[in-house]
Amino acid sequence: MGIDSAATTKVRGSLIAAAQGLALALLALTASIVLFVLTVVSLALIPIGVGVLTTPYLIDLVRAHATTRRKLAYAWSGVEIPVPYRRFPADLRTGFVGHVERLNLMLKDPATWRDLLWLLTDMTAGAVTAILAPGLLVEGLFGTVLFAGLWTVLGDWWYAFIPVQGWGTAFLASLLGLVWITLGLLFNPYLVRAHFAVAAASLSPTRKARLDARIDQLTESRHDAVDASAAELRRIERDLHDGAQARLVAMGMDLGTIEALVEKNPAKAKELLAQARQNSADALTELRDLVRGIHPPVLAERGLGDAVQALALRLPVPTEVAVALPGRLEAPVESAAYFAVSEVLTNAVKHADAERIWVDIEHRAGMLRIAVTDNGRGGADVSAGSGLRGVERRLGTFDGVLAVSSPAGGPTMVTMEIPCASS
């Protein structure tokens, strides 16, 4: 029973691979050829101005085509092909000037030229490896059909290297057809994987390109860190000026008034003393909140897990926190992770309309992984607001990544990963 089941599974997988190979071959022989020809012609027309208008749109189509192939590579064969396109600057101008700038940035991006190289290989070697998967099965079936009597209709016929001229040669053709079918059933998944390996050879960035992208990422992370530090400093100055400082100034004025009234109007002086006492208590509370916002004492004393649990207790939405940390993390990593979780929880409370939130924190294989899940209405989008973008920038300083899964209607899961060591 187990052997039959395994054989059935293998046959099904081979048939699926044949269908995938057919789809990939059709894409290679239609979309890849058309896009390659149109893009090359458009590039050639840039000197006379026509290509300036058309090339960016065609490159966008090529990138979409390549991105689709990357997704199919991972979904069908588990082959990961990175997406190496450079980001456009946020201050890219609009109109014709912006169109020209965008074209210039695309042409300077090495990934653009790797995409064109991939189109060329996809329509040749890629198409061959893809079409072999269904081709072996179809050719094998044709050989068996010849022996079934088709040769009498076709007359003399060459099947591969066998001249089919009678029942004997037709029988040989059917044997060869069974060989093709067997090879297809055995190797179709590998042929599809070979197709994606050909694509990866062209689409994957070179070592120099990876280093350049890494340098760009580190530069952007440094700028983000500087901007975040400056914004945090401005926030602290603003909170001090508008909060504790104002209350301390008011308390000083009250004390001056009390000094003048203490003998003339003791009742009024007593009232002002009570007000000054309240102002001092409020100032102290605001200073404590400010210090907690800079670096919570529980984070420094007890670590990330306890700090997040203390944070969860103050939320208006019931929040469960599960922590699996073998020890303390580096202080900068703990701080970044804490404030990232704080921002995500704040967003969930404000916008998700959730009834419950779950936070899972674990450290495994040199990676801190934090997942924040809520049962709210979903629809969270990193590009739609500054909150999650800020979290992404904060994590990027430590080579961390942010992933958001938030379909309409929920649930929403925000996953954060930071490479780090645990003491």
Sheet holding 401-405, edge to edge: 319-324, 357-364, 367-374, 412-419, 401-405
Half-sphere exposure of 196 (CA within 13 A, CB side): 25
Q: Coil, helix or strand for 82?
A: coil
Q: Tens digits of per-residue pLDDT, 348-364? A: 888 878 888 899 988 88
Q: Tens digits of per-residue pLDDT, 265-279? A: 777 767 777 777 776
Name the band, by pLDDT with cuts 50, 70 and 90, for residue 117: very high
Angstrom distance (rounded) from CA 15 to CA 21: 10
Q: What is the pLDDT of residue 227?
A: 58
- Enumerate the domain spans of the chain: 2-203, 215-294, 298-419
Angstrom distance (rounded) from CA 64 to CA 157: 44
Pick 298-419's CATH classification: 3.60.10.10, 3.40.30.10, 3.40.50.970, 3.30.565.10.
Answer: 3.30.565.10
Name the one residue in this structure whose structure tokens are 């992770």: 337
Select the highest-mean-pLDDT range: 7-11, 28-32, 80-84, 226-230. Answer: 28-32
Q: Tens digits of per-residue pLDDT, 177-217? A: 888 888 888 888 999 999 999 999 888 876 766 666 666 66
The H-or-E segment that residue 405 falls in is strand 401-405
Q: Tens digits of per-residue pLDDT, 275-318? A: 777 767 666 666 665 555 555 677 777 888 888 888 888 888 88
What pTM was computed for the model?
Answer: 0.57
